[in-house]
Structure 1
Amino acid sequence: MMRQHTRLVGWSLAMLAIALFCTLGTWQLQRKLGKEALLAQAGSAMASAPVGLAAALDGPPRLQRVQGHGRFLAAQVLLDNQLREGRAGIRVYQPFLAEGGNHWVLVDLGWLPMPADRRVPAVAPVSGEHELSGLLAPAPAAGVAMGESMQATGADTWLAVRLDFPRIARELQVPGPMSGQVLRLDPDIALGHARDLAMLPNTLPPARHLGYAVQWFGLAIAVLVIAVLLEWRQRRRR
């Protein structure tokens, strides 16, 4: 009776482990496919003629190449924990309203290094009217939302760990609705800081997700093989 109970517990634990590893493997495959789709959309958008920024912001969210004239709001969000060429830093965002549009959008003005002492660098905001072009794209992945999303570091300047759009609109006193997308500014425009239009600047490429998926599925197979071998050995002893 005790031996039968032990076998039942062992198989239950093995099945739970296999289910967990298969779930994690499937999640990694979904991440791989999602990022491949995003890269394909970006390639298609870059090969297309730009559409008006105001019209793009008023329409349904999608990745597209845009261009438009408008004005900046002299307030900024510095997104922390952003990598560029292996270095940690911040990414500078400012709200921008396209001429004739209703929705404000955060413009990615580029990357700056964060000093070793973690003292937030002084960043002069862009002001006035400008003609912008670039990619209207999804916001950077927020990850697990824990703790405060942002804190003030000066007049009209906020350091953020994720782009919390409702709070950004509230704290920066954005005078109108804000898009949940960001404008990845064209690197050729003489504004802001170091930047490019890479779609996965701060996260894993699709190939890495495939590698992790193979590892998780491999662990699931290993658990199954071990469980079958143990069962076989017990049956031989009996």
Structure 2
Amino acid sequence: MSSWRSIAGWWLLALLVAAGLASLGAWQLGRMHQKQALLDAVQQVLDQRTPQPLALAADVARTRDYDWASGAGRFTDAPAVLLDNQQRDDRPGVRVYRVFQPAATGAAPLLVELGWLPLPGDRQLPGVPRPSGEVQVAGLLAPPPSHGILAAVVAEQPTGQLLATGLDAPALRDRLRQPSLAPRVLRLDPALPLGYARDLDVLPNTLPPERHLGYAVQWFALALAVLAIAALLTFRKRKPDKTTQ
């Protein structure tokens, strides 16, 4: 009887552990499908490149959506925003944003990503001159980069620039002295002769779908391994000991 209780205990523990591992695998699969759907939607926008007005950036109903937009306007004299902890080609750096005021009547100002700049070892921030005059911009309207579960921190630098760990429009609006600020940012078309090194990768500094699939396979394999070990221990426990016969 004690032998059967021991075997039952093994299987209960094994099933609980395997279920936990399988749930982690299922979560990774879910993340894979979410990110792949995002990439597919963005690729469709990039393939079509149907220009929308820049005013669409302020549409709260499309805060999490992607659109191709273009228009004329001016960069304001608000401080530049440098998004910290941005990797490119395995080098640390910052992504540069400046406030852009569309020329269209009633259009809210929005942050335009000018590109990426490297940081030296002493982390001295680069200067970011403001483009002057009226300019024509085009690019991908996108949600600002996620800053995770931690609140975005914005620190004013001696140069007047803002160093941020995340782009939170309500928090930045006051720091940038703007009456309003669109919730989406414009990721500038890399083909435009303006700004710095950049691309339209919507999953920078995060895992691509294939990495999530790899992790899912690992979790499911671990779940199967736990069940296999439980089965092996059960077989050995039930196998007669020939030395006692």
Q: Which whole-Å deviations, capped at 9, do the CAs of 1:25-67 have from their partners, x for residues lacking one?
A: 1222122212211221122112222111113533631211111
Query: Which structure: greater strand fraction?
Result: 1
Distance 2:12 2:182 in 1: 48
Q: Equivalent residues in 2 for 1:18-167 (5 A)?
A: 18-48=18-48, 49-58=50-59, 60-61=61-62, 62-73=65-76, 74-98=78-102, 99-145=104-150, 149-167=153-171
Aligned-pair CA distance for 1:113: 0.4
Identity in percent: 46
Q: What is the SS of the residue equivalent to 2:145?
A: coil
Gaps (5+ residues) in structure 1? none
Distance 1:79 1:193 in 2: 14
Distance 1:170 1:179 in 2: 13
Q: Is the 8 A contact 1:58 1:103 kept in 2?
A: no
Distance 2:44 2:38 in 1: 10
Q: Is the 8 A contact 2:83 2:164 kept in 1?
A: yes
Distance 2:79 2:222 in 1: 49
Q: Is the 8 A contact 2:57 2:183 kept in 1?
A: no
Distance 2:69 2:21 in 1: 42
Once superposed, what is the RMSD of the aligned Cα atoms?
2.5
Stretch deviating more after TM superposition (101-110 or 63-72): 101-110
Distance 1:128 1:152 in 2: 26
TM score, norm. by length of structure 1: 0.86
Distance 2:221 2:192 in 1: 47
Aligned-pair CA distance for 1:8: 6.0
Matched residue type, 1:183: L
Per the alignment, residue 217 of structure 2 pairs with 214
Distance 1:7 1:119 in 2: 63
Q: Using a 3 Å threshold, how does the CA distance of structure 1 residues 168 and 8 change in structure 2: closer, same or farther? A: farther
Matched residue type, 1:54: A
Q: Is the 8 A contact 1:107 1:184 kept in 2?
A: yes
Distance 1:126 1:20 in 2: 53
Aligned-pair CA distance for 1:76: 1.9
Stretch deviating more after TM superposition (60-69 or 151-160): 151-160
Q: What is the SS of the residue equivalent to 1:231?
A: helix
Aligned-pair CA distance for 1:103: 3.2
Q: What is the SS of the residue equivalent to 2:184?
A: strand
Matched residue type, 2:166: R
Report the structure number with the largest CA radius of gyration: 2
Q: Using a 3 Å threshold, how does the CA distance of structure 1 residues 210 and 127 change in structure 2: closer, same or farther? A: same
